[in-house]
Amino acid sequence: MTKTQTPPGVDRIELMQTFVRIVDTGSLSAAAERLGTTQPTVSRRLQALERFLGLKLLQRTTHVMKLTEDGERCYARARDLLDNWGAMEADLRGVADEPEGRLRVLVPHAFGQRHLMPLLADYLARYPKVSVEWLLQDRRPDFIAEGMDCALHVGELDDVDLVATRVSEVPRIVVATPELAAAVAEARHPADLAGLPWLALRTFYRDEIMLRHVADQTEHRLPIRPRMLTDNLYALHHATLLGMGAAVESAWMATEDIQAGRLRQLIPDWQAPPLPIYLMHPYARYYPARLRRFLEIIRQAMPPVMDGRPLAIAPS
């Protein structure tokens, strides 16, 4: 290819942003969706960038798209340039720049509905120029490919190339209906619960539960044969309320029903290990104001322990 002048009206930054988004998402159509434009527009921008640089950046077939050697170098430089451009904008505008644009957030399904909706409402009320794509799914996202800004994750994390801040933890307790609880009224040790029917949350336990003594941290593993295995916290809770079996539940999910007498906590001196809650987002040299403000609200509102009390949202 022969390097040419950029046609009048073509924004080089926009061309590089488009190229980076194509690589990050893995396809022209996915890049178009993330950028809020059409696939032909994305294709034209890629062709314009290749013409301007005089280089072939991507090798494309019907089913495969991969970076050329020049494309790999261009991608690395473009990412650095875009990060620096964002940092320059933030510096010139100052830290008080007004949040605007779309924020894409992934939160756990049940937790996101029960506890985080008031926080989301507060965030949107404070920043009227921001819109939020609020995704309720119990999984870790591919931040780059999905264009995700941040996520809340419940549970331990493997090594990940992300910024992950532990913001809270979730106590987990053993609960059952009063009728089932009456059958083990004298229970003091996990072994005393072996004869109960059990329900299991496959995300965290399947064929055994590990309980820890609150005072001395003694641990006991109790084998179980679940009558129902589910991946949904609401389904587990509903099944427990219907008396289908005992279960290990997040304290915040069970607290209201325990107070109302619909459930009872079994062997209160023993609990399952608490689950950490992490706030995650990709590392970048520059974070847009909409993300910075959202992260601040999350950190301020999340108590150290999620035990059933509502989030304390600071006044704006």
Number of domains observed in the structure of the chain:
3
Give the CATH number for residue 297: 3.40.190.10
Q: Is residue 72 part of a domain?
A: yes
Q: Which is more confidently placed, 136 or 94?
A: 136
Per the structure, the complete domain to which residue 200 belongs is given by 171-273
Domain boundary among 89, 120, 143: 89
Residues 267 and 281 in one domain: no
Please tell me what DSSP assigns to residue 62.
S
| Three-state secondary-structure class, residue 276 | strand
- C-alpha dihedral over 284, 288, 293, 296, to 10 degrees? 10
For residue 28, is pLDDT > 60? yes
Burial (0-12, 13-18, 19+ Cβ within 10 Å), 259: exposed
Region 223-234: mean pLDDT is: 95
Interior/surface letters 195-232, b for 16+ CB within 10 angstroms, e for the rest: ebbbbbbebbbeeebebbeeeeeeeeebebebebebee
Residues 224 and 208 in one domain: yes
Residues 78 and 116 in one domain: no
Contacts for 258 with CB less than 8 Å, ≥ 6 apart: 175, 264, 265
Centre a 10 Å sphere on the Cβ of residue 315 and count the other Cβ atoms it contains. 4
Pairing status of strand 270-281 against strand 163-176: antiparallel
Report the mean per-residue pLDDT for the chain. 89
pTM: 0.74
Q: Is residue 95 part of a domain?
A: no
Residues 189 and 236 in one domain: yes
Which of 184, 200, 202, 176 shows the shortest CA–CA distance to 262? 176
Identify residue 3 by its one-letter amino acid code: K
Q: Is residue 308 part of a domain?
A: no
Residues 84 and 108 in one domain: no
Residues 250 and 236 in one domain: yes
Residues 263 and 294 in one domain: no
| Three-state secondary-structure class, residue 132 | strand
Q: CA angle 24-25-26, nearest 5°?
A: 95
**pLDDT score recorded for residue 165:** 93
The secondary structure of 181-218 as a DSSP string is HHTTTT--SGGGGTTS-BEEETTT-SSEEEEEETTT--
Residues 148 and 282 in one domain: yes
For residue 5, is pLDDT > 80? no
Q: How confident is the model at residue 84 (pLDDT cuts 50, 70, 90)?
A: confident
Residues 286 and 162 in one domain: yes
Residues 199 and 268 in one domain: yes
* 8 Å CB contact between 272 and 219: no
| Three-state secondary-structure class, residue 110 | helix
Q: Is residue 293 part of a domain?
A: yes
Residues 114 and 61 in one domain: no
Q: How confident is the model at residue 195 (pLDDT cuts 50, 70, 90)?
A: very high
Q: How confident is the model at residue 91 (pLDDT cuts 50, 70, 90)?
A: low
pLDDT tens-digit map of 32-53: 888 888 999 999 999 999 998 9
Question: By mean pLDDT, which of 14-18, 105-109, 240-244 is the weakest?
Answer: 14-18
Residues 132 and 252 in one domain: no
